[in-house]
Chain A
Amino acid sequence: MKRTTLTLAASLLATTALAEGQELTVASWGGSYQDAQSKALFEPYEAATGNTIKQETYGGMSDVRLQVSSGQVTLDVVASGSGSAARAGAEGLLEPLDYDVIDVSNFPDAFYSEYCVGGDVFSVVPAFNTDKYGEDGPKGWADFWDTEKFPGSRAYRGTVSGALEPAMMALGVAPEDVYAELSSEEGIERALDKIRELKPNIAVFWSSGAQHAQLMKDGEVDMTTGWNGRFDNAAADGAKVSYFYDQGLLDYDCFAIPKGAPNKDLAMQFIAEISKAEYQDDLPKYITYGPTNSDAYDTGEISEEVAATLPSSPANMDMQLPISLEWYAEWEQIAAEMYQEMLTE
């Protein structure tokens, strides 16, 4: 008798689970990044809604392009860089996001766009070797260019994204005017000339975050541009590296929905849910990227000390320049070709 009740209860539970629990396929980049997303966002989402998240890793928007063009879309949500999401959106690979469902009223304007809503914020900063320069290293891009005040070798990005804005600021252009100045071939050439000036001191043009972190860890260069989170990880690993947020370039990773996703509506609700402050305020516990939802700083989960280290905290936001996706959509191809010319000279 007892056994029958148990079986009955179990099967009842199973049917309700089937009725309520839906499955959603989410792809991200794997590694410590996806682990952090999983702990801070995906698992709490499962607990709160009873839905199941099937996690996958993927190779970026080229995978989405393949799925969409072959009509075999299996991914409901993808994590992406803001720039590649904007390009993919323009190419018609993504569903436009419904901001009636996703509440972005507490997001700074710079952290969401038509096809992609920000999940975390990082910053391109000048990082320096603390053995060489002490704690009082370069602040801002004029210092990065100043080889008399800060002698030593540099590393710089090998592709154009996030590479011209620092040169413009080093020229003395105010952050808010940078993109206006860069919106002509002459302006781009001006920035490139500034990089040409520094080029004899640039030992390496880096191509990945792992690389610029390793360059600092090995002492191969004394200073580099790069993503703040990587330097924090390197420093935690014993590297003599530090940075300031002054004039950093704010950028964000985001969530997007591939065109023709099998569970589009659920995907929209999923993104709405994990964009809430009570999810985002957990992210900094697992990785030093900041939340995109400003309210996440007010829930009490993020202490003031932690907030001071995050790129999107109110105090740090003010001294940085958010990346302009519009500028990249219009100028990236031209600027990239011109950048390559500077590199191959």
Chain B
Amino acid sequence: MAAADMNAAGLRRDERAERWRLFGLSSPALLLVLVILVIPVGWLFYVSFIGADGNFSLENYERMVARKSYSRIFVTTFQVSILTTGLCILIGYPLAYFMSQLPVKWANLCLITVLLPFWTSLLVRTYAWLVLLQKQGLVNQWAISLGLWDEPLKFVHNMTGTLIGMVHIMLPFLILPVYGAMRAIDGDYLKAASNLGASPRRAFWTVFFPLSTPGLFAGSLMVFVLCLGFFVTPAVLGGGRVIMVSMKIVSNIELFVNWGAASALGVVLLLMTAVILWIASRFLKLEQMTGGGH
């Protein structure tokens, strides 16, 4: 009995020592997070409560309630982000599935074409869409000369253009994790399902799809969160009619002499994102989304 106690105490001591060593190893990373994340975000919170006269004030938040444009801008931001994520899933998931069924050699070639746009500047890609889609752009010119439609269609300077541009830029962020998850699925599971009499469709939906969801969630989440803070593409392709939070942050920095007016917007966006992540974690297993834990 006493020996067992001593043994347990020894184990606990070892465990504590181990934990300290681990902590020592990770302290540079923790310090980095503290310096580049916690302190600036804390500063952001602080500054958002400083009014134009330099004293503590709620005016930056009150303004957001008093002016209807702020809530509309947040609605637009979430609308664009949700639609972009949805479209990326609709386009990206089947593509990733197709790639996962190819022999590795061909799949790698496909991957390179998916990644290729990554090596081109975002600004260049956004302007390329403008050149392609505008009234006298290539798409309208060709379609009209082919007789597909008579009057130039309005593809840019509106929500349509914004979504086209953003889906194009976000697609790789969805395809890569989905493809990774799909590649990790053991083909024997599907064979077993077929062997037990499942139709290909049933085998896909009951076996393959659930196994691919961690990748799908990870990709969707990444796309959604990146969309929330997007600036260049909606600014160029939205034609000033699609106003997202990031754009309002910029205009508030130019308009108000203090940083608070812009910081408060950042704080609200950050909190909203955190709430969404929290809700998502209630329904989905967050650790699955980040790829860990099977």
Which A residues have a C-beta under 8 Å from some C-beta of B? Answer: 62, 87, 90-91, 158-159, 203-207, 218-220, 332-333, 336-337, 340-341, 343-345
Contacts and interface: CB of A to CB of B under 8 A. Distances in A.
14 contacts: A62-B253, A90-B257, A159-B251, A203-B239, A204-B241, A218-B136, A220-B136, A336-B251, A340-B67, A340-B69, A340-B248, A340-B251, A344-B68, A344-B73
Contact of A204 (B240, B243, B248): B240
B136 A341 contact: no
A211 to B, nearest CB: 8
A64 B134 CA distance: 38
Nearest to A199: B241
Contacts of B63: 337
Nearest to A343: B243
B183 interface: no
Interface string B234-245: 010001110100
B288 interface: no
Contacts of B256: 333
Contacts of A87: 257
A341 B68 contact: yes
B135 A218 contact: yes
Nearest to A336: B255
Interface of B: 63, 67-69, 72-73, 76, 134-136, 154, 157, 235, 239-241, 243, 248, 251, 253, 255-257
B157 A204 contact: yes
Given A87-B257, A205-B241, A344-B76, 8 more contacts: A203-B157, A203-B239, A204-B241, A205-B240, A332-B255, A340-B67, A340-B251, A344-B68
Residue among B69, B73, B76, B134 facing the most chain A CB atoms (10 A cut-off): B69
A205 B257 contact: no
A203 B248 CA distance: 20
B172 to A, nearest CB: 28
Given A332-B255, A333-B255, A336-B255, A204 B239 contact: yes
A337 B62 CA distance: 13
A343 B239 contact: no
Given A205-B240, A343-B240, A337 B157 contact: no
A341 B67 contact: yes
Contact of B243 (A206, A332, A337, A344): A344
A336 B68 CA distance: 13
